[in-house]
Amino acid sequence: MVTPDSPTRVDAAPEPAEVADRFFALATLLRQRANRGMHQQGFTMARGKLLSILEHRGPTRISAIAAKLGISGVSVTEAVDALERDGYVQRAPDSTDRRAVLVSLTELGHTVIAGNDSSRAQVAEDIFGALTPEQRSQFWTLLNILHQAEK
């Protein structure tokens, strides 16, 4: 007998809630494994996300980081203080507004992000490597359909 936990189902299509539950479980596993390297270096998920934002955006104002993370500016300032003290980020004046500062990664911050990116790539290979190239293409198409449906 095929159970709901079986890799393939031969009965009726699963309900949307079943698909969502399975997707959330996979997403949680993916996130946990991908962030394991950051946690081993003593980073919280929020601090790792802060470093990632700086890697993608370059020098950024604290208010913009707070908006992206959906947390208060005070919380971001505290995180930046700790990351700066540990040598991962630095502050510099914003040349367009002398009241503001820009936060950017230091070389050490870039090194941590590069190591995390390598870890994440390995996790992606471990999980999605179980799919054939055709299955990955189909999965990608389905993800894009779902993404577009939410817009």
Predicted confidence (pLDDT) per residue in 57-116, tens digit: 999 999 999 999 999 999 999 999 999 999 999 999 999 998 899 999 999 999 888 877
Beta-bridged to residue 101, according to DSSP, are 93
Domain boundaries, the chain: 44-149
pLDDT tens-digit map of 25-44 = 998 888 888 777 667 766 77
Q: For 14-140, where are the E strands, in sequence order?
A: 60-61, 89-94, 97-105
Residues 85, 48 contacting (CB under 8 angstroms): no
Q: Report the amino acid identity of residue 26.
A: L
Lowest mean pLDDT among 13-22, 49-58, 118-127: 118-127
Domain 44-149 bears CATH identifier 1.10.10.10 = yes
C-alpha distances out from residue 149 to 17, 27, 86, 146, Å:
17, 19, 42, 5
Q: Which one-letter DSSP state was computed for residue 134?
A: H
